[in-house]
């Protein structure tokens, strides 16, 4: 047995050694992190505190705690541009009709659009359908398992691919949505404009550094949950934030972060034509030439176009000038950076004109049947504005 030649410790040497140990560990940790060019967040403590908060506080949502890539994918595309509260019912209903990729592949696009009605941004469901068709036809119904392969599908970008790959398959890839960018900007007190190339690189780098590679799905969801429920755009709950001790902007006006350039709105003016008969309301069929493409709509045109031209198109006539046109006020609507003001006009065609209806592009739909069609949001607003009884 080897002899221990060390002198026994006195209380004074004990406490001096303890202090030296703590000091040297602290110096090592800071110099290591600073050498990486990052703020000295202790990543281990950050991850464990965030994950333990998430485990205890995550909202009970129907699309959480499932490993089903189809359901995770569906919920993620529904959640783009839409609040969680709105998505819950849509998600539950959609999954009850179409529980998997093959069911979506077999469905008509109209059936899917109908279930999507009200969520807006319809290109999401059209791309989802295309992707499910492709998976069913080319991949034997199997959803790809890596973020790189998922990104090849229509409508699947970096964020959605990372969410599916990390939550369903455990791939160590970070999800970066608006919530995560806000949290990172505040944690590191980052003040460059959020959409700049430099900022994108910064968020990618920090998200990858912070990611818990042993539990990437939970970690990604925890970051998003933190942004949605604690580190909110207005009035962040810094006092109860589970990672507040690591946050550089706490107490320094975190609401001012992330820095965003002012949105430049484009004012746009449309006209809408309301035609009511005993057969119902005149609607324009979905078309790629409509102002809001591929949706049923109350006929709309640009302000510079003549109402008479729309009447001529709808009733295959050149006699529009004989019709009386009444102004019914206007509605306002916004699509991304477009602020649209639509002036509403009404007219009452006679039976001779009604018989000439251009049925290829237009249809009279009874008010009671409107809910079976996927109307664009602008048309729904116009509907609220007009009297919905037949003349
Ligand atoms: Fe956000 Fe405040 Fe938490 Fe910082 S301390 S991450 S600003 S909630």
Q: What is the pLDDT of residue 260?
A: 95
Closest C-alpha to 236, from 246, 219, 245, 249: 249
Of ligand 1's atoms, which has the minimum distance to the CA of residue 243? 3
What is the pLDDT at residue 17? Answer: 58
**Nearest 10 degrees: Cα torsion 127, 339, 81, 175:** 90
**pLDDT one-digit tens code per residue, 213-248:** 999 999 999 999 999 999 999 999 999 999 999 999
Contact 169, 144 (CB under 8 A): no
Measured from the Cα of 248, ligand 1's closest atom is: 4
Q: How much is the pLDDT for 41?
A: 61
**4 Cβ partners below 8 Å, 6+ apart?**
none
Beta strands 338-347; 266-277: pairing state? parallel
Probe target for ligand 1 pocket from 178, 206, 231, 253, with the most ligand atoms within 8 Å of CB: 231
Q: With bands split at pLDDT 50, 70 and 90, how would you rate the model's confidence at 35?
A: very low
Q: Half-sphere exposure (CA, 13 Å, Cβ side) for 339?
A: 5
Q: What is the CA(248)–ligand 1 centre distance, in A? A: 9
Confidence (pLDDT) at 319: 57
For a pocket test of ligand 1, which of 179, 240, 243, 258 has the largest count of ligand atoms closer than 8 A to its C-beta?
A: 243
- Once rounded to an integer, what is the mean pLDDT over residues 32-49? 63
Note if 363 is an active site residue. no
Token couple for 110: 């109209």
pLDDT, tens digit, for every residue of 364-391?
Answer: 999 888 887 888 889 999 999 887 666 6
pLDDT value for 334: 85
- Which residue's CA is the nearest one to ligand 1's atom 1? 231
Å from CA of 229 to ligand 1 middle: 11
Q: Could you tell me where the DSSP H helices lie in the chain? A: 11-35, 43-57, 69-79, 84-97, 101-106, 109-116, 123-138, 147-150, 158-169, 178-187, 197-210, 216-229, 307-315, 351-355, 377-385
Cα dihedral across residues 306, 363, 288, 70: positive or negative: positive
Please, which pLDDT band fits residue 91 given cuts at 50, 70 and 90? very high
Residue 34 predicted with pLDDT over 50: no
* Tens digits of residue pLDDT in 191-215: 999 999 999 999 999 999 999 999 9
pLDDT level of residue 286 (50, 70, 90 thresholds): confident
Which residue is catalytic, options 76, 171, 225, 297? 76
Q: Which atom of ligand 1 is nearest to the CA of 236?
A: 8
pLDDT, position 28: 40
Minimal CA–CA distance to 223: which of 45, 39, 53, 42?
53
Sign of CA dihedral 212, 216, 222, 228: positive
Cα(230) to ligand 1 centroid in Å equals 7
Among the residue ranges 53-62, 141-150, 293-302, the one predicted with the least confidence is 293-302
Instruction: HSE, CB side, 13 Å, CA atoms: give it for residue 259.
Output: 11
With cut-offs at 50, 70 and 90, classify the pLDDT of residue 352.
Answer: confident
- Quick one: pLDDT at residue 18? 54
Is 50 exceeded by the pLDDT of residue 6?
no
Residue 4 reports pLDDT greater than 80:
no
- Residue 186 alpha carbon to ligand 1 centre in Å: 6
Residue 59 CA, ligand 1 centroid: distance in Å: 19
For ligand 1, mutation pick of 39, 249, 258 (most atoms within 8 Å of CB): 249
Instruction: Report the percentage of the chain scoring pLDDT > 70.
Output: 86
What is the pTM assigned to this prediction?
0.73
CA–CA distance, 54 with 303 (Å, rounded to integer): 51
Residue (of 64, 377, 12) closest to 222 by Cα position: 64
Q: Find the 238 Cα to ligand 1 centroid distance in Å.
A: 5
> Residues with beta carbon inside 6 Å of ligand 1?
183, 186-187, 230-231, 236-238, 241, 243-244, 247, 249-250, 254
């Amino acid at each position: 047995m080897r002899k221990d030649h060390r002198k026994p410790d006195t209380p004074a040497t004990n406490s001096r050694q303890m202090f030296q140990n703590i000091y040297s560990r602290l110096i090592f940790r800071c110099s290591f992190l600073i050498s990486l060019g990052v703020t000295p967040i202790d990543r281990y403590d950050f991850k464990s505190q965030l994950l333990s908060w998430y485990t205890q506080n995550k909202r009970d949502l129907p699309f959480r705690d499932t490993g089903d890539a189809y359901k995770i994918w569906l919920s993620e595309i529904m959640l783009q541009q839409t609040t969680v509260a709105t998505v819950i019912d849509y998600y539950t209903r959609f999954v009850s009709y179409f529980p998997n990729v093959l069911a979506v592949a077999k469905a008509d696009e109209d059936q899917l659009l109908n279930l999507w009605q009200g969520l807006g941004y319809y290109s999401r469901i059209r791309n989802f359908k295309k992707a499910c068709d492709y998976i069913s036809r080319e991949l034997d119904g199997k959803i790809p398992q890596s973020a790189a392969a998922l990104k090849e599908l229509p409508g699947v970008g970096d964020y959605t691919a990372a969410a599916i790959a990390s939550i369903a398959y455990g791939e160590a890839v970070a999800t970066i949505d608006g919530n995560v960018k806000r949290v990172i900007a505040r944690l590191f007190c980052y003040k460059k404009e959020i959409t700049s190339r430099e900022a994108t690189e910064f968020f990618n780098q920090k998200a990858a550094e912070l990611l818990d590679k042993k539990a990437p799905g939970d970690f990604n969801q925890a970051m998003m949950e933190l942004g949605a429920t604690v580190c909110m755009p207005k009035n962040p709950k810094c006092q109860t934030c589970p990672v507040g001790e690591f946050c550089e902007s706490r107490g320094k006006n975190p609401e001012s972060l992330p820095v965003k350039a002012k949105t430049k709105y484009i004012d746009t003016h449309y006209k809408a034509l309301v035609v009511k008969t005993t057969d119902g309301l005149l609607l324009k069929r979905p078309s790629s030439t409509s102002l809001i493409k591929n949706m049923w709509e109350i006929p709309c045109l640009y302000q510079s176009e003549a109402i008479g031209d729309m009447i001529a198109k709808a009733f295959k006539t050149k006699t529009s000038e004989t019709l009386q046109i009444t102004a019914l006020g206007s509605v306002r609507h916004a699509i991304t950076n477009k602020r649209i003001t639509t002036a509403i006009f009404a007219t009452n065609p006679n039976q001779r004109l009604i018989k000439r209806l251009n049925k290829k592009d237009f249809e009279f739909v009874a008010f009671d049947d409107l809910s079976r069609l996927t109307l664009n949001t602008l048309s729904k607003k116009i509907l609220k504005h007009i009297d919905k009884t037949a003349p």
